């Protein structure tokens, strides 16, 4: 039997799943690495640490599966978007991976928003006006680190770098190229005018290939370590956003896909480019006839992690003694207070925000706190705040795409019954949760099957997704959330005028950054 590895390079770890040719999962592995944030607005990773994580993860799943009746025929990739690495002429990194969460290009994104150039870039490329984009990162480096730019022979993202390490081929597929802000969404080629703005030449960028393109053959030393044949197919795959949407089966216009992992996103496929006049949404071509429109959100499950660590240290010790999951204990605590957290609101902007605010200086806050509120109210308000923020982004998306017929939700947030109920209640809509949580790896595996000629189109992925469960909203909670949502939205606008000042204060006193 033949086997396929689907692998997802995430922000905090790399996941690998080994599938047989029929889509059955045989083994899983997860390898973490450090996100360096020891300076204001910085969010970097070591590209070689990530490469080693992929190597170890693939080795682990192949070893666990003890393959005796066949071999791995393909390794297919999902990866975080918007990363940037400078390479010298020998393909050695001159920088760490500058991730999507890095906000040091904020000044240049703000300038482009104010002078109107950012809107022009958005209309050509589909990239929103935000420092997450490699376009804005390149502006920052060009202006503040010209010596580095002069030494740089190639500009790549993390997936392209990892695939080059394995294959000695420097290539970039359509979806990841679109997320750079350097690709013209109409021609699907590197945009000459955009490249002039950032001082980059086409020969400094990877060659462009389709998402199902495969490179046959990897370096023998890596094949030996992983336990795969040297002539394995390396399938380019796509961005994590595209694949997580495909992997839950949200393939049609009118189906809304929501993912809440470390970060979060609201997305929908369209059959042609769709530009938001207010530039609140991205629009990235994925493959022929498939454009992904949506809003990426910085503050998903990572906000729950913060509350877990910052507010509930004692409960973590209790969980250890009881041999229980401390996050489950927090969820049970949150269930003890009513919907709406007795009027306590939480804006979850711990790491700035992309959609719906597109403000790298945004900061988190509790609002409405009084003497009667407890930590139980605070943890429920955190969970509700994550969903309120998603709902604000959904309002922007549906304004240009129309109301959704179906809402598919994936990610760790909805593994808990409380998370699912909050989602259904705030949206006032039935939500569907696919059985497969690792939707990115699943879709990567499926693209490999398409690349190998074993599947003809995306529709066939539905047979691998498994059972779906549907959850209904509680009508008793409608009046509560209907009253709180307008307050939440108005408050986000009122606070916007103060975000720049508090962010500047934090930059002025960098000792606050103790990570």
Please name every residue paired with 29 in a beta bridge, in sequence order, or none if there are none: 16
Sheet holding 255-260, edge to edge: 282-287, 290-297, 264-270, 255-260, 406-410, 431-434, 468-471
pTM metric for this prediction: 0.92
Q: What is the dihedral of CA 213, 219, 225, 227, to 10 degrees?
A: 50
d(CA 392, CA 389): 5
Find out whether 298 and 81 touch, Cβ atoms under 8 Å.
no
Among the ranges given (280-294, 432-446, 498-512), the one the predictor scored with the smallest mean pLDDT: 498-512
N-to-C CA span, the chain: 47
Domains of the chain: 2-242 (3.30.420.40), 249-298+421-471 (3.30.420.40), 301-404+483-502 (3.30.420.40)
Q: Is the pLDDT of residue 316 over 60?
A: yes
- Is residue 346 very low, low, confident or very high in pLDDT (cuts 50, 70, 90)? very high
pLDDT digits (tens, 9 = 90+) for 43-87: 999 999 999 999 999 999 999 999 988 999 999 999 999 999 999
Tell me what pLDDT residue 511 has. Answer: 64
Q: Is the pLDDT of residue 119 over 60?
A: yes
- Segment 273-302 mean pLDDT: 93
- Segment 272-291 mean pLDDT: 93
**Residue in 439, 380, 413, 408 with CA at minimum distance from that of residue 300:** 413
Number of H helices, E strands in the chain: 18, 23
């Amino acid at each position: 039997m033949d086997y396929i590895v689907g692998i997802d390079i995430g922000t905090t770890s790399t996941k690998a799943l080994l599938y047989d040719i029929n889509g059955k999962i045989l083994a899983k592995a997860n390898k973490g690495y450090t996100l360096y944030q020891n300076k204001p607005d910085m969010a970097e990773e070591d590209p070689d640490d990530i490469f080693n994580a992929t190597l170890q993860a693939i080795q682990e799943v192949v070893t666990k599966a003890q393959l005796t009746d066949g071999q791995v025929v393909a390794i297919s990739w999902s990866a975080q978007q918007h990363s940037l690495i400078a390479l010298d002429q020998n393909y050695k990194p001159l920088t760490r991976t500058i991730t999507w969460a890095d906000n040091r290009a904020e000044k240049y994104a703000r300038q482009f928003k104010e002078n109107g150039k950012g809107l022009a870039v958005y209309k050509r490329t589909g990239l929103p006006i935000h420092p997450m984009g490699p376009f804005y990162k390149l502006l920052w480096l060009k202006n503040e680190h010209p010596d580095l730019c002069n030494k740089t022979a190639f500009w790549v993202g993390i997936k392209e770098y990892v695939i080059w390490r394995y294959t000695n081929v420097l290539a970039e597929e359509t979806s990841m190229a679109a997320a750079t802000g350097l690709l013209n969404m109409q021609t699907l080629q590197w945009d000459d005018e955009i490249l002039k703005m950032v001082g980059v030449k086409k020969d400094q960028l990877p060659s462009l290939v389709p998402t199902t393109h495969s490179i046959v053959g990897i370096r023998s030393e890596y094949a030996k370590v992983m336990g795969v044949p040297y002539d394995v197919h390396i399938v380019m795959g796509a961005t994590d956003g595209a694949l997580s949407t495909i992997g839950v089966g949200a393939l049609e216009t009118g189906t809304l896909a929501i993912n809440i992992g470390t970060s979060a996103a609201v997305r929908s496929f369209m059959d042609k480019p769709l530009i938001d006049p207010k530039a609140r949404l991205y629009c990235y071509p994925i493959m022929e006839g498939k454009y992904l429109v949506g809003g990426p959100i910085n503050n998903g499950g990572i906000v729950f992690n913060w509350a877990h660590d910052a507010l509930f240290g004692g409960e973590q010790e209790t969980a250890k003694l009881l041999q229980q999951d401390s996050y489950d204990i927090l969820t049970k605590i949150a269930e003890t207070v009513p919907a709406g957290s007795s009027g306590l609101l939480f804006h979850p902007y711990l790491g700035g925000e992309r959609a719906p605010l597109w403000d790298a200086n945004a900061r988190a806050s509790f609002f409405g706190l009084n003497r009667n509120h407890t930590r139980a109210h605070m943890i429920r308000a955190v969970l509700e705040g994550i969903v309120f923020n998603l709902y604000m982004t959904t309002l922007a998306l549906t304004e240009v795409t129309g109301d959704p017929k179906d809402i598919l939700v994936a990610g760790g947030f909805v593994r808990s019954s409380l998370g699912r109920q909050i989602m259904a209640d705030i949206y006032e809509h039935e939500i569907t949760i696919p059985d497969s949580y690792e939707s990115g790896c699943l879709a990567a595996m499926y693209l490999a099957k398409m690349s190998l000629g074993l599947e003809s189109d995306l529709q066939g992925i539905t047979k691998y997704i498994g059972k779906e469960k549907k959850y209904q909203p509680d009508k008793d909670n409608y009046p509560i959330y209907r009253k709180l949502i307008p307050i939440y939205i108005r408050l986000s606008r009122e606070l916007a005028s103060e975000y720049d000042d508090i962010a500047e204060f934090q930059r002025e006193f960098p000792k606050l950054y103790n990570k």
